């Protein structure tokens, strides 16, 4: 399957990355990792991209890691549409001190606007 995994540097996005890379190795997915500019994350995009590259390398798969500028949600949806992706994978949300799960603004936009299936990784 042609899978687009969007990560912006939050903890849950790195969990999504690990799980997607793992699955791609087993299922032979055609994976692209898109590093987006998450305004809520303080991690430098270059560093996120390096993390993604090393996760891909470790899993021994052939996946493209690309940095995407602009509004994260709409860019992910646009890329999925124009390049024929079948699934978008994102982090499954932030957990508050109380244990409440909050879905980030990127996931919310993608969920409502994507034409592909969307997976949120818990």
Say how many C-beta atoms besides its own lie within 10 A of residue 6's C-beta: 30
Among 25, 49, 108, 113, binds another protein (CB under 8 A): 108
Supply the minimum distance, in Å, between the C-beta of residue 42 and another protein: 11
Cβ proximity to another protein, 60 vs 99, nearer residue: 99
Number of amino acids touching another protein (CB under 8 A): 12
Cβ proximity to another protein, 1 vs 101, nearer residue: 101
100 binds another protein (CB under 8 A): yes
């Amino acid at each position: 399957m042609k899978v687009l995994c969007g990560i912006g540097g939050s903890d849950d996005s790195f969990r999504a990355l690990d799980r997607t890379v793992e699955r791609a190795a087993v299922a032979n997915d055609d994976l692209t990792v898109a590093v987006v500019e998450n305004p809520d994350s303080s991690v430098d995009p270059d560093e996120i991209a390096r993390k993604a590259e090393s996760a891909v390398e470790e899993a021994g798969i052939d996946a493209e890691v690309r940095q995407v500028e602009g509004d994260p949600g709409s860019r992910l949806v646009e890329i999925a549409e124009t390049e024929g992706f079948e699934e978008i994978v994102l982090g499954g949300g932030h957990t508050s001190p109380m244990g409440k799960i909050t879905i980030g603004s990127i996931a919310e936009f993608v969920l409502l606007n994507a034409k592909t299936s969307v997976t949120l990784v818990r």
